[in-house]
Amino acid sequence: MTPEIYRELMQAGVDCVTLGDHIYRRREIMPLLGAERNIVKPANYPSDAPGLNHCVVDSKSGVAIAVISLMGRVFMKPVDCPWAAVDRVLKLIPSTVKVICVDFHAEATSDKQLMGRYLDGRVTSVLGTHTHVPTADEQVFPGGTAFQCDLGMTGPYESILGRRIDRVLLAARTFVPSAFDVATEDVRLSASIVDADQLTGRASSIRRICLKEDDVLDIKCTTT
């Protein structure tokens, strides 16, 4: 993420941005993390790390929505306990804010399943990110929390996790260092739509979507 990319997302209508293990890769993002109120770091990062551990934004219909980001620990860089961190953050959210969305940026599906079950009935959704590949396990848990192990990526699917196939294959086969250039073909938008009761914060449904670039352009044409 860079300030330029952030501003582009805001102009496109994005309400809030969560970030993962590459949050500080570009140093120019640091001032923005302290200045903007709708972009969050993983809440189980150190307290001194730049950025907010949660935020509250208003939806287009005026509903207040709290957003929390967490980092998993299995096969990831060492971080604080995500379960303890989310408990701390939930205490900071005003009781009037019923809709709470959690982005769990983690490698292992077991980690994500555990977090979803741990927060069932306490948050509106626990949606996983990081692996770039959408999972087909979207569901609403008994307590009313919508869950999916991974939303997938928005980016080029003719790729290896968004990078050019030939570059990644060369490095994997030969160990010769190669620049992992971003791929450009078969761009898709992966996401999930969660329906929730704004008075209780409980989810009633979750629907997985994956739209190709032409599909998005068709939707844009029919709605303008």
Q: pTM to 2 decimals? A: 0.93
Which string of DSSP letters, residue by residue, matches 203-219? EEEEEEEEEEHHHHHHH
Contact present, 194 and 205 (Cβ < 8 Å): yes
Contact present, 170 and 150 (Cβ < 8 Å): no
Q: Give, in words, the CATH class of 41-152+186-223.
A: alpha beta
- State how far the Cα of 16 lies from the Cα of 52, in Å rounded to an integer: 12
Positions marked active-site = 22
SS3 9: helix
pLDDT tens sequence for the chain (224 residues)? 999 999 999 999 999 999 999 999 999 999 999 899 999 999 999 999 999 999 999 998 899 999 999 999 999 989 999 999 999 999 999 999 999 999 999 999 999 999 999 999 999 999 999 999 999 999 999 999 999 999 999 999 999 999 999 999 999 999 999 999 999 999 999 999 999 999 999 999 999 999 998 888 777 777 66
Report domain extents, the chain. 41-152+186-223, 154-185
